[in-house]
Each structure stands twice: as structure tokens, then as C-alpha cells.
Chains A and B, each alone.
Chain A
Amino acid sequence: MLALFAGACGGSGGSKGASSDTTAAAGKKATGEPIRVGWLTDATSVTRGTYFPEYEGAKLFFSNLNDNGGIDGRPVELLVEDMKIDPQLAVTAATKLIKERNVIMLAGGTIEGRLPPVFEVVRANGVPFLTGHSARPDMFPPKPDPLLFTAGNVFEAMSDARVKLWPKVFDKDFPNGGTSACYIHEAPAAFAVCNRWLDQQQKATPQWKPGTIAKAPLQTTDFTNYIRPVVDSKPTVFFDISIASHAIGAAVSARNLGYQGPIAFSMTATPETDINEVIKQVGGQNIYALSNVTSIDETQVPEVKKVIDMAKKYGTEIAPNSGTLNGWMMAMIIADSLKRCGAGCDRTKLRDAVEKTNIDTKGLTGGNIAYGPDDHVGKRYWTAYKYDTSKKTLVRVVKDWITFDPKTDLLAPLAK
């Protein structure tokens, strides 16, 4: 508790320095010795849609930061390596950044199955690593690995958070509940995403019953066979989470097969850019998105507006979306930690600084992100959106954010 408190103090001081400083030091380009931060992403393969925007968000943040004084006059140099979803590349990319580029910390990463090889390199070299969208149980309370932090989730935590969120999203339209179908591509994680969630959902809210679970192999491009049972079972709601090409393929298949009910995506896995692909094909009726990051469509949030402006100024390959915002938020954590770490910062000190993170996310999610010695995930905040066909944007259907604390809210323990 004391440690958490101390962390909170350090954090609030730091965030003032790092991310709100931009106006104070506006126009002053950072010129000192650069601080090198390594970033792993998938720039060219099938999960690019999920992980590349994160990198672009961080890139935008640091470009802006460097043009406005950097960290105490020192620019942050973001070095990126494309690891795709390949274990060999995971090892060599992480090794290259750490041993040859001499980065002070590592961030990003791709699918959770590819993270263990990176962890091995990280541990061998004592480098802190902040993962994005995908996390692993190694970061979770009560005993996180000292070097590993995340701004993302494990499937189990997402599933358990969904148990709380689901009735808030759908009880209004379906007061008597109904069945929830679930799609994910065929992978071991499918069990956590669909089975665990649906079991727990029924325990918590008996009116929401488990529906059909569909899983297509990774190499699938035609989803009809797999989605047909979902549509035939006439689910009340269809939850669709997977890598982007699967998620959009499954959704379009469901509509084409005649399913008119709500389809709920999981954002940052299927960000707005991909949801829009579906809408272009089959229309925007009854499209939902559950998210732990604010949608890029909430332009009234000043920080979101700022990211959009920065994207215009510095340019991005993928139009900014919730993934970009997540990356921006990760960069906020990194900049804040570097700031608190101060002069003479090294990997060990930076690790300690990251552990004391407690930053105000300025509306990019539902509250502060704070780590502690026994928790390298921190609270997560979830909300939900629905596509508004007249405004052509996602609008909030859950006014507030539900809070999910991995320390207390996991419905069943994670196997290590």
C-alpha cells in the first residue's frame, strides 16, 4: 500500500513534466543526446492492423515531444523493428534493439504467443518491456515478472471484464437477456476468450446464456461454413474478436447469411479502420465495439483531437484509430517514466520508475494507469460504442467506464 502511495506521488509529479509540458516549451526542439527506446511491431503481416497503429501512436507522441523540448532537452529516439508474428524475428529483433542499438527499454510486441521469446531476451539483459495490446500472465498480480509491464490485456482479463460490461451494453435493448455467440480464430486462447467468458457470464447474469462458439483455422478466408451454425442458432448478440482479417470476414459472413442482430467487436484488436471495412460491405446497423481505449471518433476529448492533429502534422500509414491512441498512451507512460528517472537514468532505474507509474491518461481511457510492485497491469477501464449510421461514427452506449482491477476482479486465477 505504501509503495503504491509512493508510486502515486512520483507519478503525478512526473506526468506534469512529461506530457503537459508541451505547451510550456512549445517550439523548442530537443537537441541533447537522444534517449533510445526500442519498439517491436508487426509492420507487414496479418496482425499489422492491430499492432502497427500502436507504433504510429507512440511515434506521433515522441515526434511532438521532441519538437517541444523532449525529456529535459533530450529527444527520444524511437527505434522500430518489424517482428511480424515470427518467433525467430522476435528473438533477433529484440536482440538487435537491446544489444546493438542499446535501447534503454523495449515496448510494443505482437501476439501473445510470440512474447515468450522476447521475454527471454529481455530477462537476459535486464531491460524493462512495456507491451501494448497483448499481455501475458507474467505481468499480472500477485507476482509479476520484475521487467514486464503492459498497457494491454490477457484474454482472461478481457473475458472477465466483459462479464461486467455485457449487461450494461445490451440489457437496455434486451431486458430479458438472450444468447451470446462468440467467434475467434482457432487457437488455444479461444478457450479463454469464448468458453471462459460465456461460462462466467451465465453465472453472473443468468439471463445471458452461452450461445454457439465458432472457430475457424487461421488460414481461412471464406468464413461461411464456420459462421453458418452461429447464424442458424439465431443468437441475440454475436461477439466477434480475432485478428482483423478474421474479425471482418466473420462479421460480413454473418450479415450475408442473414443475421441482423448486434455484432460486437473488440476494439484495438479490430480498430475503427477495420470496423469501417465491414460497414462499407454490409452497412452500419447494429454494430458495436467494446473497448478499453477511447475511440478515435470521440473527437470532443481534447487528447484525441490532439492525436488526430499530430497525425495530420507528422503523417501516419494507417488512419489514426483506437490502436493509435493506445500507442500514444504507452508513450505517455514511457515519457513519464523517463522524466521521473531523470539524469543518469539506466535500465535498472528506468524499471523502478516504470513500476511507480501513475499517470493521468487525459481521457484516453477511463482513468489513471498505475503500476505497483505486485501489479504491472493496473486498472483497466472498459466502455462500449455503437455505430451511429447518421453521424457515421461510433458513439458511446455506456456513458461511464467500468473499472476492472486485475488484483481483485479476475474471476478465476491465471495459470502461470
Chain B
Amino acid sequence: MSSATRLLERSPYLHEDYSSDLALFPYSAKRIAAIVILVAAALALPMVATDFIVNVVNFTLIAVIGAIGLQLLTGMAGQLSLGHAAFLGTGALVSSGLWFHFELPFWQAVPLAAVAGGLVGLLAGIPALRLRGLYLGITTLAVQAIVAVAGLKYQLYLQRRYGTGADLNVPRPNIGFFTVETVRQWYFLLAVIALVGLGFAANLARSRLGRDWVALRRREVVAESLGVNVARQKLVAFVLSGVFGGIAGALLAYYFRNVSIEDFNLQLSVEYLAMIIVGGLGSVQGTVYGAAFVTATPFVVGEAVDRLGLTKSLGANLRGIELGVFALAMMAFLLFESDGLAGVWKRLKAYFVRWPYRYTSLSRGSR
């Protein structure tokens, strides 16, 4: 066997020194090949896909960006949040408000929306210093209710102050040198932001902060005795969650060109929670799978009904069928693969890497 083929078939599990163990992207020829294919596919997608599909992919990318925030907070640091929609709502209101009052363009408004999201995150995090688990969930619910009412009051104020019909509409996004006009241009913009966000999250997981969070999630008391500044790291998790949520909210505002605060409700928060759990708690790539699963499944089902020529018989109840199939798929995952989609992926990968040997789950044992 030549050394070249040996290199190609080297198991990704084999770490020969610490630098390879720490590497953000462990080197392997297969992996690089996979990345090249993925990048090529990502570049080709808008050329071949219909507008409908590009739209669905764009929704997914926005969801990925928002879900990263929740993944950091709930998946990594173990702080339950039932109020993620509050951060998205804040981002949406701030970015559209900045346009309404100051005509601040998209590329300036989004960072400010992120800051605003972070601030709300900080406030939402304060009760976490005392509360835990489900009881923490209710404080995040409270933050959500407060943001919703404050947003509504703000929208009513606009009407009173600037005349009826004063609405939080925004123009097409301007990123300094370029205005995003089509769904395909949106796709590239969103893909870049999502990639940066994912890279950030993956890197964070390896950092001191990430490790503190893991300790925090496993046992708070132990973490503290190990010298983790529990209060500070919790707050950092909340702030970062707010930052990502704020960015996703601003993107939603610009994507739909309009903001109604009623959309940022508990249902949305629960959907985000479903994304990270379905994808796999604590897994950065799981965030992508989960966001894609929750966002795209209904559309994929609708598309399948359409392609199979069932629109005539099922069309009237299409939305219900989409939701129903989504729920059933979610149940199937829970019953048969509890590590989420990231677990499915890991298992598939391990199966092929170890073939012809039999696969045994690594994750099951460690739980």
C-alpha cells in the first residue's frame, strides 16, 4: 500500500499529536474532498435551483444564524431559553427602526441590531444567576412578553407621532457598495454570514469559554469549584445568544421588508428550541441540520406532493399535511435516533469509515 493511499484512508479518529486534536478542521484528504464538493454545490445551487428552493434555503440560513445563538446558550452552556424570539424581535425592531428614524443602511443597522440583541441578552441573563432549568425558562418567557409589548407600544407610538400608516418597512438591503436585489444575491449574503457564525461557534467550542460552558452544563457546582466564573460565563452565553438572535431578526426584517412584532411569539421560540434539539444539543453542525429540518421539511413535503401530482387531491389540506409529516418525522427521529440529526450523521460516517468492521456507537457510552 503506497503512502498516498494510506494518507487518504487515515481515520479521522486517529490523532497523533495535540495540534491535530485541537485543530478546528482536522486534516484529512477525504475531508478536504468533501469540503470541495460542498463548496462547489453551494456555489452551484443558485444556478440550478428554482426561486422557490432558493427562498427555502435562505429561510434555512437565517434560521441557522439565529439557532447558533440558542445552541451556544442552551446546547453548550446548558441554560434553557424559551424566549429566543425576543432576541430576534429586538433585532428586527432595531434594524427597521434605525431605517425609519435615521435611514441607516442595512450594513450599519445589522451590527447595531446585534448590539441591541446582546443587551437584551444581558438583561435576560440576570435571572440565570439565581434560577436554573425550567424555572429559568419562565424568565426568558417574561423577556419575550416584555419585548413583544414594548415593540407593540413602539409601533403604536410611530402611528401617533408620524401619522397613521407609519409602518416599519425597510428598503432592499444595502451593504455599502452593493444592493441585494434578488433571492440569489440574498443567498450568497446569508451563506457568508452563516459560515462566519458557524466558524465562530465552532472555534468558541474549543476555547476556554466553550470548555467552561461544558463544565457549567454538566454540573454547575463542580464547574465553580474548578474555578469557572459561573456567573460571568452564563451572562456571556446570554449576550452571545442575543447577538446572533439580533442579527437573524434584522435579516428577517430585511428579507420580508417589513416588521410585525406579533410574529416573534412563543411559537417561534419553541421552533428554535426544536431546531437545536433535533439537530443535536451542543453540536455546531447539528445546528445546520436542525435548522434545515425544521425550516425546510414542510416545504419539501409540499414540493413532493406537488411533484407526485397529488396537488388535486391533497392541495386543499397541503399546509396541514406539511405540518403533520414534519411532526411524524420529528417523532421518528426521537424514537430511533435520540442524538439528533448530528447523531445520524456521525453514525453514518462512522459506518463508512470503519467498514467492513461493525459500528458501535461512541456517543451512547459517553452519555
Contact = CB atoms under 8 A, between A and B. Distances in A.
Quick check: do A and B touch in the complex, using CB within 8 A? yes
Contact of B256 (A44, A91, A196): A91
Contacts of A95: 51-52, 55, 183
B280 to A, nearest CB: 24
Contacts of A187: 152, 260, 262
Contacts of B50: 99-100
A54 to B, nearest CB: 16
Scoring B155, B159, B317 by chain A CB atoms within 10 A of each residue's CB, the highest score goes to B159
Contacts of B255: 91, 117
A192 interface: yes
Contacts of A91: 55, 255-256
A44 B324 CA distance: 14
Given A82-B318, A87-B263, A99-B52, A415 B162 contact: yes
Interface in A287-322: none
Nearest to B159: A191
A380 B189 CA distance: 44
A192 B155 CA distance: 12
B365 interface: no
A119 B257 contact: yes
A414 B165 contact: yes
Contact of B166 (A113, A117, A415): A415
Interface in B290-347: 299, 315-320
Contacts of B256: 87, 90-91, 116-117, 120
Interface in A4-55: 43-44
A175 interface: no
Contacts of A137: 165
A188 interface: yes
A416 B166 CA distance: 7
B56 A188 contact: no
B106 to A, nearest CB: 15
A43 B317 CA distance: 8
B interface bracket (residues with beta carbon within 8 Å of A): 35 or more
A92 B262 contact: no
A375 to B, nearest CB: 17
Interface string B140-184: 000000000000100110111011111101000000000001110
A69 B182 CA distance: 40
A89 B166 CA distance: 25
B238 interface: no
Contacts of A154: 165
Contacts of B289: none
Interface string A393-412: 00000000000000000001
A43 B164 contact: no
Given A44-B319, A92-B56, A99-B50, A191 B257 contact: no
Nearest to B317: A44
A415 B52 contact: no
Tell which of B52, B299, B318 has the most Cβ of chain A within 10 Å. Answer: B52
A119 B320 CA distance: 25
A191 B156 contact: yes
A90 B255 CA distance: 12
A340 interface: no
A100 B52 contact: yes
A96 interface: yes
Contacts of A119: 257
A90 B56 CA distance: 12
B258 interface: yes
Contacts of B244: none
A137 B299 CA distance: 31
B59 interface: yes
Given A99-B52, A412-B164, A43 B316 contact: yes
Chain A interface main SS type: helix
A95 B316 CA distance: 18
A125 to B, nearest CB: 9
Contacts of A188: 152, 155-156, 158-159, 167, 260
A137 B315 CA distance: 32
A218 interface: yes
A415 B265 CA distance: 27
Contacts of A416: 165
Contacts of A92: 52, 55-56, 299
A383 B29 CA distance: 76
Contacts of A413: 163
A188 B160 CA distance: 10
Interface in A210-242: 218-219
A80 B257 CA distance: 24
Contacts of B167: 188, 415
A155 interface: yes
A159 B159 CA distance: 14
A82 B319 contact: yes
Contacts of A90: 256
A186 interface: yes
Interface string A93-119: 001100110000000000001001101
A113 B299 CA distance: 22
Interface string B198-234: 0000000000000000000000000000000000000
* Most chain A beta-carbon neighbours within 10 Å: one of B152, B260, B317: B260
A386 to B, nearest CB: 29
A188 B165 CA distance: 9
B317 to A, nearest CB: 7
A109 B183 CA distance: 21
B195 to A, nearest CB: 22
A156 interface: yes
A156 to B, nearest CB: 5
A111 to B, nearest CB: 9
Contacts of A412: 163-164
Contact of A116 (B258, B262, B263, B319): B258
A72 B243 CA distance: 58
14 contacts: A44-B319, A82-B318, A89-B319, A91-B256, A95-B183, A99-B50, A99-B51, A116-B256, A124-B183, A156-B165, A188-B155, A190-B156, A191-B159, A415-B163
Given A82-B319, A117-B257, 6 more contacts: A92-B299, A113-B260, A156-B165, A188-B159, A192-B164, A218-B262
Interface of B: 50-52, 55-56, 59, 152, 155-156, 158-160, 162-167, 169, 181-183, 252, 255-258, 260, 262-263, 265, 299, 315-320
Interface of A: 43-44, 80, 82, 84, 87-92, 95-96, 99-100, 113, 116-117, 119-120, 124, 137, 154-156, 159, 186-188, 190-192, 195-196, 218-219, 412-416
